[in-house]
Structure 1
């Protein structure tokens, strides 16, 4: 009797095993990404993206560099001093303003000795000398007094307004000629050069 049942038990076991595999969930086949294809060669993978796939927007931040007084003093040139006056007076640091300041300095002391008496514009305000023949302890102090003169005194209002605009070096120069800054009025332009002003570094002692 037992031998008769053995084949039946074996068949039942095979049937149960088959049902187990049939009922077990199978892992899904990898899905193909629409619009893209991949090619593999050895260890190298190449991905091709469909032409109609748009690239994401990238935000590019802008950075503005601000020129500080410490940097200008460390560099120590006539171009730096011109910028220092503008910064001290809170005037726009435009190329037109820098150019007219450099030309003004050249008319007063010349480019090769622009730091003469630490008074590049021969300013009488705070320098202890009449007719602009005084001196300052440092070029930094001279820049502060030059800016103060332009902001303080009403007879320099036209210069102040033109520097505020910061767009026309020639217009600012005309305002300088018309002002009482120089008794000669720079020949109303006949003693005024618009040629580029070379870069000259002052001695470290002039900066204090």
Structure 2
């Protein structure tokens, strides 16, 4: 019985091997084809992917090439142009120079004869230079003295707007006096020499000679004989004068 069972088992094994051996080569080849095809297609797919990537870069917009300048300094290649209307003019280039001056409020608060001299120059739009300040202080001293230069709120004894044609009039304040003094120098033709000298602003003695030659003082300061050039004392006026 054991031998019979062995024979039956061997027959079954032989039958299975027989079935396997009876599979045709064509069918076996058919079974192997998908895996083999996949292995063969892999290199091709990789090549296609690389080619597609290359075409992407080739078709992308490329930046404009920067070209070297020519011998005359001009660049070649595409250029941009800007059209401007024919009636558009280039703005003028300004070359003004600026100087700083103390404001009127500061001068009034300080309140000295030097401050009043500067205020006249500012009101008359004259240069506030050392020469101009010097000649104004000398002029004020010749008219009223240093210790009482604010007399009648009329430091230069100006008749214009003061109510006194001979220069003996007065103003309501030293601020008003400065305005009228500057106005007289700018307004009346017979003070043109003084005006021009103050405009130059570089020579106190030249301005003094223009003052002597003008009709500002009937004595003409004795053509300079009654004119001191010593340094002027700086004296503050009472706050009420301003």
Does the pair score TM above 0.5? yes
What is residue 176 of structure 1 aligned with on the other side? 211
| Structure 2 gap segments, 5+ residues each | 1-97
Say whether the 8 Å CA contact 2:143–2:157 is kept in structure 1. Answer: yes
What is residue 117 of structure 1 aligned with on the other side? 152
Tell me the number of residue pairs that the alignment of Structure 1 and Structure 2 aligns.
145
What is residue 139 of structure 2 aligned with on the other side? 104
Distance 2:223 2:152 in 1: 26
**Counterpart secondary structure, 1:123:** coil
Alignment TM-score, normalising by the size of structure 2? 0.59
Distance 1:140 1:152 in 2: 18
| 1:86 corresponds to 2:121 | yes
Q: CA deviation at 1:175?
A: 0.3
Q: CA deviation at 1:172?
A: 0.3
| Aligned Cα root-mean-square deviation (Å) | 1.0
Measured against aligned partners, the alpha-carbon deviations of 1:88-135 in whole angstroms (never above 9, x if no partner) come to: 000000000000000000000000000000000000000001200000
Q: CA deviation at 1:66?
A: 2.5
| 1:185 corresponds to 2:234 | no
Q: How does 1:1-208 map to 2 (within 5 A)?
A: 65-207=100-242
Alignment TM-score, normalising by the size of structure 1? 0.69
The structure that is strand-richer by fraction is 1
| Structure 1 gap segments, 5+ residues each | 1-62
Distance 2:101 2:158 in 1: 27
Measured against aligned partners, the alpha-carbon deviations of 1:140-176 in whole angstroms (never above 9, x if no partner) come to: 0000000000000000000000000000000000000
